[in-house]
Amino acid sequence: MLFPMTPSLPLRSDDAVAMRRLFGLSLASALLIATSPAALAASLDGAEVDAKAASATVAQAQDAAQTPADPPPPDTEPDDDGETIVVRAERLRGSIQTDIPPVTELDAQDVASYGASSLAELLQQIAPQTGSARGRGGDGPVVLLNGQRVSGFRAIRDIPPEAIAKVEVFPEELALKYGFRPDQRVINFVLVENYQSLAAEVDNGLSTQGGYGTTEFEGTFTKLGKNTRLIVDVEYEMATALRESERGIVQPDSSAPFALGGNVGASPFGTGAEISPALSALAGRPVTLAGVPQGLTGAPALSAFTNAPNTTDLGEFRTLIPNSDRIQANATYARNLGPDTNVQVNATYTNNFATSLLGLNTATFTVPAANPFNPFGRDVSLLTAFGDPRAITRTVDTDTYSLGFNANGVLPANWKWALTGDYTRIDTLTIIDQPVDTSAVQAAISRTTGAINPFTGTLGTLLPGLVSDSAESRNQLFNAQFTANGKLTDLPAGPVNLTLVGGFARRLQDSTDSRRAGQGSVSLTRSEANVSANIDVPLVDTYMSDWFGKLSVNGNLGYRELSDIGGLLSFGYGLNWSPTDTLTIQASLIGEEAAPGIGQLGDPQIVTPNVSTFDLARNETVLATIISGGNPLLTAEERRDVKVSLSYRPPFVEGLDFLAEFIRNRSYGTTASFPILTPEIEAAFPDRIIRDTDGTLLAIDQRAINYDRVTSDRLRYGINFSKRIGGEARGGGAGGPGGPGRQGAGGPPPGGPGG
C-alpha cells in the first residue's frame, strides 16, 4: 500500500507516531504474530486502520501548509541571538487599562485566602488597602464591577468570593475617570463568566466576658451567566443587650444612693450629717444612711432603721449596647443587551429595631418632721428608685427602601457612557421615655393633714404613667448621573482622554417632634445640579519615554448648584510620572467647597435623659441630658488637599510592593460633631452647656458646629508582600475558574465552563 508523501512537508510529532505505528512493530507484537495467525490478521486490520488515520493526518498537514500564515507583527526587533520572540496574551475581561498602577491586586487564590463569605466581608478584610489616604473620611471607596460603574455597593455586596476572578485597587486619581470625587480609592472586581451557587450561613458570636451575643441567618442565591447576573440575599440578625451591670460599670449616682425600697439620709442630703442623734444612739454609731425596712404597713419605729442601707445595682437597668433586630432583603438583576451594552436593577429593604435602657426613675423626697409616719423627730431625705413604672427606654425603628438602576454602553468613536440612578427612602421613628413627674408624690408626703406614709414601698403606684417623646423623620434621596469618557484627540505622546459628568439630585426631609405640638412638621428640600470634566494629557512621546519614562498631567473642574446653599466650585490638577516600569510618582492638588448635609441642618431635635457623662471640669461622672439633631446655622466649608505618592515594585523581589504617601489637608469652616467636653471647649461654647447652681453638669447640646479651620499633615507608607508558598498554582477557589467546587459551595452551572 502506497501513501503520497511531500518531501518538503515536515512531519509533526503525531504524524511520526502514526508512521511508526504503521511501519514499525514492537518486539512483543512480532512475537505475538509469529505464534498466532489470528493475531497476524488482527494486526493487518489494525495496520489498515492506522494507515487511514495516518493518511488523513498527512493530508491535514498538507492543507495547513498550503494555508497562508498570519503575517508577522511589523514592529519586532531581533534579540541578541538574531531570533524574534513574539508573546501574545489576552487581557483579563473586565480589568481596567490605565497608566496609573494599582495599589494592590488579588487573584482568585488570594481572595480565597481571606476566608470571607461575601464581597462585603472581603472589603472589610482589605480595608487598609482600600481606605483613602486623603483623610477626609465619609464616603467609602468607589466600587466597579468588570471595569464598569454599578448603581451602588448594595448591588454587588452579596457576591460570593468564589465568583471573583480578580480584585484591583487603584489610587484616588483614577476616580475622576469614572465621574467620582478624587478623594476615594477605586476597587474593581472582575467576575468569572459562569457561576451558580445556593448558600446558607448561620453565624453566632459571643463576647469573651459573656453578656452579649449575636446570631445571624443568611441565605444567598447567585447565578452568573455570560449575559445575565442574578443575586438574591435574605438576612436576619439579632443581638442581645449588654447591660452596665455585666461590665462592672460604676454608677454615677453612687453619691446619692438610690435603691429599690429606698434609703433615708439627713436633710438636705449630701452634707454628711447624721440622720438623727436618737437613731445614732440606738445604733451605737453615727448613722448617715439607713435602709427603709421592707414590708412596713403602719408607722415604723425608730429602731427599725438601724439596719444597713438598701442597695440596688442600677446598671441592671442601663444598657451599653441595645437589644436589636435587623431584617434585610436584597436582589440584583443584570443583563447584557448587546456586546457593549448592559443594564442592572437593584432593590433592597432593611428594617432595624433597637431598644435601649436608660435607667430607673429616681427621686429624692423630703419627709418633714410633721409627717405622722416620721419617727426621726426632724426633717429627713428619702432617696428611692422606682421599679414601677418600668425603666426608662429608648426605641429606634428604621425602615430603609432602596431602588437602583444602572446602564453602560458605547457611543460612536468608542466613547463609553454610563447612566446611574438611585432612590432611597429612610423612615425613622424614635421614642424616648421622659423621667416621671414626682411633684404630686412630694406634695402628698408634705401635707399637714392626710399625709401618706412614705416608707411602705408603694410610692411607685402613686406616680403618673411614663410620658414618651417621639420624633419621626423621612429622608428621601433621588439622584441620577450620566458619565461619558473617551479619546478627545491624539498627540505625539498618545491620546488625550476626556471624562464628562452631569447629574441631578434631590433630597427631601420631613420631620415631626411631639414636643412641638401644634407646630406641624418641619420640611427641608435640597435640589442639586452638577457638572464636571476631567482631562488626561500625555506629555512624553514613545522616543523620549525610552529614557525619560511616561509622563502625563490631568486637570478637573466641577460646579454644583444647591438650592439651599448656592454655587459650589471644585477643581484639581495632578501629575503622573513613571521613570521605569516599576516606579511611579504622583502629585495632585484638589480644592473644593462642601456644604453641610441636609440632616446636619434639619434633623429633628432629640433630647435623651440620663446619659452617663464624664465631666472633666469637676472630675466626676453624672447622668446628663444630651441634645442632638440638626443645626440650621451651619455654613459651607472650603478644602485644599495636596498629595504626593511614590509606588515601587522591585523587579528583583516578586510580589513586593512599596507605597509611600504624603498628604496635607487644609479645611476652613469645617462642619463637625460637638467635641468632647473639656474646660476649654466649655469656655468656647458656653451656651451649649447647662449647669445647676452648684456647678453640676445637667445638659449638653451636642448638635454639629463649624470649626474655624482644621489642618493636618500625614506621612503614610507601607509594604505589601504576597507570594504563594509551596505547591504549584492551582485553579481558583470553589466554583471559580478551573476549580472543581467543593460540595455545597456552588460552581459553574452544569454543562458550563469553569469561567
Give the Cα separation of 384 and 402 in Å (integer).
48
The answer to whether 500 and 536 are in contact (CB under 8 A) is: no
- Per-residue pLDDT reduced to its tens digit, 734-754: 333 333 333 334 443 433 333
Other beta carbons within 10 Å of 317: 23
Q: What pLDDT is recorded for position 193? A: 86
* Measured distance CA(418)–CA(500) in Å, rounded: 11
pLDDT at 98: 80
What is the pLDDT, as a whole number, of residue 22?
36
The grid cell for 159 is 457576591
Residue with cell 454599578: 150
What CATH class is the domain 540-722?
mainly beta
> Which residues lie below 8 Å from residue 33, measured CB to CB, with a gap of 6+?
25, 39, 40, 43
Which CB contacts under 8 angstroms, 24+ apart, belong to 365-368?
A: 365/438, 365/441, 365/442, 365/445, 365/454, 365/459, 366/267, 366/442, 366/445, 366/446, 367/264, 367/267, 367/445, 367/454, 368/445, 368/446
Q: How far is CA 335 from CA 103, 343, 408, in A?
A: 31, 6, 11
**Backbone Cα Rg of the chain:** 38
CB 522 within 8 A of CB 512: yes
Cell numbers for 649 = 515594585
Name residue 662's beta-bridge partners.
Answer: 644, 715
Residue 160: name the closest of 691, 715, 741 by CA.
741
Q: Classify burial at 78, counting beta carbons within 10 Å of its beta carbon; exposed 0-12, middle 13-18, buried 19 or more.
A: exposed
pLDDT at 732: 40
Residue with cell 431584617: 327
Cβ proximity of 593 and 570 under 8 Å: yes
Type and span of the H or E element at 333? strand 323-336
What integer pLDDT is reported at residue 136 of this predicted model? 60
CB neighbourhood size of 566 (10 A): 11
**Among the listed residues 621, 609, 600, the one whose alpha carbon sits nearest the alpha carbon of residue 674:** 600
SS3 for 637? strand
User: Helix axis angle, 37-66 relative to 13-23, nearest 10°?
Assistant: 150
- Amino acid at position 291, single letter: G
Domain with CATH 2.40.170.20 in the chain: 540-722
CA dist., res. 652 & res. 311, Å (int): 71
Contact 79, 86 (CB under 8 A): no
CA gap 105, 92 in Å, rounded: 13
Give pairs for 91-94: CB < 8 Å, separation 24+. 92/165, 92/166, 92/190, 93/146, 93/190, 93/193, 94/145, 94/146, 94/147, 94/165, 94/166, 94/188, 94/190, 94/191
Per-residue pLDDT at 133: 61
CATH of 104-192, one of 3.40.50.300, 3.30.70.420, 1.10.1040.50, 2.170.130.10: 2.170.130.10
Q: 463: which residues sit within 8 A by CB, 6+ positions away?
A: 361, 386, 388, 389, 436, 437, 438, 441
pLDDT on residue 91: 61
Return d(Cα 515, Cα 705) in angstroms, integer.
23
Q: Which DSSP helix (H) or strand (E) runs through 445?
A: helix 439-446
pLDDT along the chain (755 residues), means of 10: 38 39 38 39 42 40 43 51 60 76 86 87 85 63 88 88 91 81 85 92 90 94 93 96 88 72 90 90 92 88 91 90 96 91 96 94 92 93 85 95 95 91 96 89 91 88 84 92 93 91 93 68 89 93 78 93 91 91 90 88 82 90 90 90 91 86 92 91 93 92 92 89 63 38 39 36
Residue 249 has what pLDDT?
83
Q: Name the strand (E) or helix (H) holding 701.
A: strand 697-701
Q: What is the pLDDT of residue 749?
A: 40
The single residue listed with the C-alpha cell 521613570 is 579
Q: pLDDT tens, 443-487?
A: 999 998 889 999 988 888 888 878 888 888 899 999 999 999 999
Asked if 468 contacts 432 with a C-beta cutoff of 8 angstroms, the reply is yes
Burial class (CB in 10 A: 0-12, 13-18, 19+), 95: middle
Q: What is the pLDDT of residue 550?
A: 87
Return the C-alpha cell found at 389: 413604672
Delimiting residues of CATH 2.170.130.10 domain(s) in the chain: 104-192
Q: Which amino acid, residue 514?
A: S
Residue 524 cell numbers, joined? 427641608
Distance from C-alpha of 252 to C-alpha of 255, rounded to nearest angstrom: 8
DSSP states of 501-564 as a string?
EEEEEEEEEEEEEGGGTTS--EEEEEEEEEEEEEEEEE---HHHHHHH-EEEEEEEEEEEEETT
